[in-house]
Chain A
Amino acid sequence: MAVKTAIPQLTWTQVRPAPVVLVTGPETLLAERAIRSLRDTLKAADPSLEVNDLDAGDYAPGELLTLASPSLFGEPRLIRVQGVEKLTEAFLAETLDYLRAPDPDTVLVLRHGGGVRGKKLLDAIRSGAGGGIEIVCAELKRDSDKHDFARDEFRRAGKRITPGALRKVVSAFADDLAELASACQQLISDSSSEIDEQVVDRYYGGRVEVNAFAVADAAIAGRYGEALITLRHALASGADPVPMVAAFASKIRTMAKLKGARGADGQLAGTFGLSPWQVRRAREDLQGWEEAGLAAAIRALAAADHEVKGAGRDPVFALERLVRVVAAKGRTAART
């Protein structure tokens, strides 16, 4: 996130009390953890802490002021506001007012899940109004990020895990960070000594989460066996046949567009409305593909889409046949 800010931007582990704590980014798990740990810190400092929850999308005028005004006994307060990305006009106006003179005994937590709505408020906080901090909970997209996340989980708990075991856990729960986190917690609480591959196998053996694009990648590159195995893994971990065909279709469509096109990647990207990395990727994928093969693959795709949507008896068989045609780069299909 390349936003110019006048306030510290921290990760979820570095959360600390401040008059205004802005929690941004789409990764709910991290945001929840940040807010929970903030609450625990405050509660430890003063057990009489008063905690209130608000929903910015369903906000009645005056609520914030009521909750943030000092009470008779002057106990510290924590106000957690959910859904700032859906904020109402009243909430915006009152929060901007509040930022001008924040209550010293109150910690205001604003959870913004992403999107352009509420930008005015975010900009105000980022420019330093109210003396806030921002906790950035960006989505962990790359495998290496998830790997780091899992390693930190074990490190924080003081457990040792072998690199191989770590890799296994991460690939078994590649889709959902919350699942990965709970799998790590399970391993941490159940094992006493070092966690090695055997332990992971005992808990999560044979489970690999792959997405549809991984299956398509393997098939397009001509790795038939690997494509079939990843297909089965994907289906076993909950992938649906219909989006699977769509993933194949989107890759093959890009390849077909670029078949026979000449020029620099950037220039082609402009012509076809693609991004440069898509062009580069598709050109690599096109190695060994013939015009006729692409045509056969496209026909197989349309047939498979029809079959997974009810024309065939067995959607999985339809997918396997599609994988066979694609992995053979369309050559066998011309004969059958």
Chain B
Amino acid sequence: MSVWAELTGQRDAIAVLRAAAAADRPGQRAAGSGNAMTHAWLLTGPPGSGRSNLAFAFASALLSTAGPDGDPVTDAQVKARTHPDLTVLSTEKVIISIDEVRELVRSAQYSPSVGRYRVMIIEDADRMTERTSNLLLKSLEEPPERTVWVLCAPSDTDLLPTIRSRVRTVRLTVPTVADVAQLLTTRDGVDPALAEQAARHAQSHIGMARRLATNADARARRDETLDLVLGVNTVSAAVLAAARLLQIASEDGKAITEERDAQEREEALRSLGVEPGGTVPPALRGQLRALEEDQKRRATRSLRDGLDRILVDLLSLYRDVLMVQLSSDAALVNAERADELRRHAAATTPAASLAAMDSIAEARTRIDANVNPTLALEAMLVTAIGVGS
């Protein structure tokens, strides 16, 4: 099976990358494909469009000696992130730290050991600060002959101009709802009706759609979020709703991290030689503290991701209201709530819906800038219900 098979709705991007992997093959250099390959790539596309999956498929094709469609052995190694010529930098924290990138730049200098290339992938390249990005410049511009950089980011404006000018950008499109639903049905065996609903609610975010389709709790949380916000009409209710939203987001985040945190701690204690339940000697506390700090950073990120999911859901709600108000025939994201949406649309104006959407966008910026999430959500909700504006 080709490495490109499971990528949904990205025909154009795949064509470009496949041509690149096909070019520069010893003895097979096709005429006219001389410029197809380059040493630095940037894959951009909205969250959930499969940027990193595409990056790994590309890595698989580049590392494989079999051809542009890859071979199962290399592909398995790439999927397990154990291929010797593949280095991946991804982060579960809010930002990528400068030391991680230093290490990466150093290892970019090694020649490939078994494959044709050494592939360096940075997922979430937008999570590098300016100082961190600058470290990459030299290495991105003139890497050793057989090193290929693949950066992933939501859009190319998320990166510094100096980075953008050193990479070739491949843009991914948002897959259609039908494509995503099809993928869920064939790959995960989800019931077609549920798959369609999940794909629509996730607005074609593949990972999110999968979660909605396979996890009833996630669906319940999404429903509760929308009910909550539609029910808000006073400042008092807005403040209480904000608290509840934050709670939903942290439950959502905790469901992902809590189990791992406990397991990591146990493993760390075992490797430090501390018996279960025993006190940790003062000399070793520093190491545990480092672990806890890492986990705390991960929890911050996971709470923010949870909030962002909630805000995207809310954005879809007000977008639907606006579509109804403008009598557009665009498909509704929340088609199940059509009656409710119509009632809401009749009670407010398009200007109010736009103001609500702006306030959601503002809340996302603020939460990103480390504003107290409760405060950002409260401000968003009081604006969304139009009190005092």
Contact = CB atoms under 8 A, between A and B. Distances in A.
A130 interface: no
A245 B380 CA distance: 17
Nearest to B279: A88
Nearest to B379: A302
Contact of A246 (B372, B378, B383): B372
B274 to A, nearest CB: 14
A241 interface: no
Contacts of B234: 259-260, 291
A296 B379 CA distance: 9
Looking at A57, A246, A291, which has the most chain B CB atoms within 10 Å of its CB? A291
A249 B372 CA distance: 10
Contacts of A294: 235, 382, 387-388
A53 to B, nearest CB: 17
B371 A256 contact: no
A225 to B, nearest CB: 25
A15 B178 CA distance: 80
Contacts of A301: 375, 378-379
Interface string A221-264: 00000000000000000000000011001000100111111000
B382 A258 contact: no
Contacts of A291: 234-235, 387-388
Contact of B378 (A253, A306, A309): A253
A329 to B, nearest CB: 11
Given A256-B236, A301-B379, A306 B388 contact: no
B388 A334 contact: yes
Nearest to A293: B388
A259 B366 contact: no
A305 interface: yes
A306 B236 contact: no
B235 A256 contact: yes
Contacts of A260: 234, 236
Interface residues of A, number: 34
Contacts of B380: 302
Nearest to A248: B375
B299 interface: no
B240 A292 contact: no
Q: Please tell me the size bucket of the interface on B.
A: 20 to 34
A253 B379 CA distance: 11
A311 interface: yes
Nearest to A261: B236
Interface in B100-143: none
A58 B285 CA distance: 13
A74 interface: no
A310 B389 CA distance: 26
B157 interface: no
Contacts of A299: 379, 382-383
B26 interface: no
Contacts of A272: 240
Interface in A306-331: 306, 309-311, 330
A261 B366 CA distance: 30
Contact of A309 (B235, B369, B374, B382): B369
Contacts of B363: 302
Interface in A7-27: none
A301 B369 CA distance: 15
B369 A306 contact: yes
Contacts of B375: 249, 298, 301-302, 305
B147 to A, nearest CB: 36
Interface in A88-106: 88-89
Interface string B277-306: 001001000000000000000000000000
Given A246-B372, A305-B372, A295 B236 contact: no
Nearest to B362: A302
Nearest to B242: A253
Interface string B356-389: 0000000100100111101110111011000111
Contacts of A246: 372
Contacts of A58: 282
Contacts of A302: 363, 366, 371, 375-376, 378-380
21 contacts: A249-B372, A253-B239, A256-B235, A256-B239, A257-B239, A257-B240, A259-B236, A260-B234, A272-B240, A294-B235, A294-B388, A295-B238, A295-B388, A299-B383, A301-B375, A302-B379, A303-B379, A305-B376, A306-B369, A309-B370, A311-B369
4 nearest interchain CB pairs? A292-B388, A302-B379, A295-B388, A295-B387
Given A298-B379, A309-B370, 10 more contacts: A249-B375, A259-B235, A260-B234, A295-B235, A295-B389, A302-B363, A302-B371, A305-B375, A311-B369, A334-B388
